[in-house]
Amino acid sequence: MQSDENQPQIHRSEYLTDIPTEADIPLDAEVSLDTKVSVGKHNADRVNLPLMHFAWPIMIENIIRVALTSADVIMLSSYAEEAVAATGVINQLVFLINLLYLMVASGASILISQNLGAQNSAAAGRVAQGSITLLGVFSVILSAALCLGASIAIGFFKLDKSVHNFAMEYFVIYSAGSVFVALCMILATIIRSYGHSRGPMLVNVLAMAISVSGNYLFIFRGFSDTLRGLAGVNVSVIQGVALSTVASQIVAAAILYAMMKRRKDIVLEKGGLFKVPSSVYSRILAVGVPTAGENLSYNLGQIVIMRMVSALGTDAMAAFVFAVTVLRFVFITSISIGTAVQIKVGYYVGAMMADIAQRKVYRYFLAGTAISTAAVLTLKLLQFPIINTFTQNPEIQTMAFGVLLVALFHEPGRNFNVIIIPALKGAGDVRYPVYVGMIFMWGVGVTLAYVLGIAMGWGLIGICIAMAADEWSRGIVVFFRWRGGRWKGKTLVG
């Protein structure tokens, strides 16, 4: 493994160049005396906010997102199992798109939280402004590229013809509307990084209601026929589901923007989006690209693994999708804790309280592991009625039960990576998780999945065992990285 000590680091003096302090805010900025008082008060309080202040709204927000995906799967299962298999492929591509947007959002989150911990709200506001512009431009370019290259992306999975057609119908529409997905992500990230977690949670509740309502109209109420009769517009059921998702994101983005503008502690100048120095953009990417790189490597590995699963047949694909759909409710707590931990560690490190951060993270990790272990055991005990909700096909059910059996070992190991790695990122140690991730995700996860699942003929069970082995081996390595404390020298601001 290449040592990250030889990699270029971002130091405080470099980062603060061209980024204003409180005294540098222009006189024409829309900042009142009350706003300045509010900013100071919030900065003083953020370090002392309990983890649950962030974690429980994030958890509810994540549960809503998972529930939305589950609702799509449950609703589409009554329409066609081929459509369910298509959602498995689409979800992998959607995760990949979100991870590309996460490169900007992650960099912004870490830099904002560390600057707020260091009592530099003006620098935090400048990063927030720059991240909106950067992600807005990037998402427009990416959306256009995805629409033009949709057939290439879907063709990679070598699906049955009917599954391929379903996937294409959804992906083209989602790609076109992914600009609003990006805006929702960055606006929610900014609001959450300032310590306001409830707002994005409530907006996601509304977005889910819009999406599920649209799904219901298209799948169960024949809204496609209604549109054809009233306006002469031909919209298939799958296209309708995609349109419902995009519509929910448009509404959510508008509300989140209004919510951000109302927050007095988020200081935005007039025309600030166009006044951000280019050096701010480069620093957001310098932190965000390696931060999201670990997640990106994981998702690319999952896409390759999904291709192996698709080679096992539509039944195996459907079983995997059903099992993963319910397992998301198991690890959602740990992921939510990890997201909150990244923000909290950023505050602690910015305030020069790294030793406190180190001790706190151990407690957070133990809590997440205990919760997810109890959840996966409960899920395994209730597997029959749960999987029966999705399908009555005995072959698919048997394969899904096998995936849940391996999950008893898989899920406890996942906690290392969804809690410890965000802690490292929040502290500014953003490169090490990428190196470890690339080695173990591909050297263990993908390679072993092929050996066990394809070459040795263990099928879906073999692939799931390989994924669990990756989580444990990678997780133990990053745990010792945190314990060793070398991340304490990676702080991005002072």
With a CB cutoff of 8 Å and minimum separation 6, the contacts of 227 are 233, 235
With a CB cutoff of 8 Å and minimum separation 6, the contacts of 6 are none
Q: For the residues of 225-264, what is the DSSP string, one character each?
A: HHHHHHH-----HHHHHHHHHHHHHHHHHHHHHHHHHH-T
Q: Is residue 4 part of a domain?
A: no
Q: Which domain holds residue 306?
A: 46-489
Q: What is the pLDDT along the chain (494 residues), one digit of tens a residue?
A: 334 333 333 333 333 333 333 333 332 333 333 334 344 445 546 788 888 888 888 888 888 777 766 676 677 766 776 777 777 778 778 888 888 898 899 899 999 999 888 888 888 888 998 999 999 999 999 999 999 988 888 888 777 788 888 888 888 988 999 999 999 999 999 999 998 888 999 998 899 889 888 888 888 877 776 666 566 667 778 888 888 889 999 999 999 999 998 888 888 666 656 677 788 888 899 888 888 888 888 888 988 998 899 889 888 988 998 898 889 888 888 999 999 999 999 999 988 999 999 999 999 999 999 999 999 999 999 999 999 888 889 999 999 999 999 999 999 999 999 999 999 999 999 999 999 999 999 999 999 999 999 999 999 999 999 999 999 999 999 999 999 999 998 888 75
Q: Is residue 60 part of a domain?
A: yes
Residue-wise pLDDT for 22-69, tens only, equals 333 332 333 333 334 344 445 546 788 888 888 888 888 888 777 766
Among candidate residues 55, 67, 336, 91, the one with its CA nearest the CA of residue 209: 67
Do the beta carbons of residue 143 and residue 176 sit within 8 Å?
yes
Task: Tokens for 244, please give them.
Answer: 């419902």
C-alpha atoms less than 13 angstroms from C-alpha of 362 in its C-beta half-sphere: 10
What is the domain count for the chain?
1
Q: Is residue 6 part of a domain?
A: no
Distances 109 to 105, 254, 344, 460 between C-alpha atoms, Å: 6, 20, 11, 37
Q: Is residue 299 part of a domain?
A: yes
Among candidate residues 110, 112, 108, 119, the one with its CA nearest the CA of residue 42: 119
Among candidate residues 218, 219, 211, 212, the one with its CA nearest the CA of residue 180: 211
Do the beta carbons of residue 104 and residue 285 sit within 8 Å?
yes
Q: Is residue 34 part of a domain?
A: no
Number of Cβ within 10 Å of residue 344's Cβ equals 29
Q: Is residue 400 part of a domain?
A: yes
3-state helix vs strand vs coil in the chain, percent to 5: 85, 0, 15
Q: Is residue 494 part of a domain?
A: no
Number of Cβ within 10 Å of residue 347's Cβ equals 25
Q: Is residue 33 part of a domain?
A: no
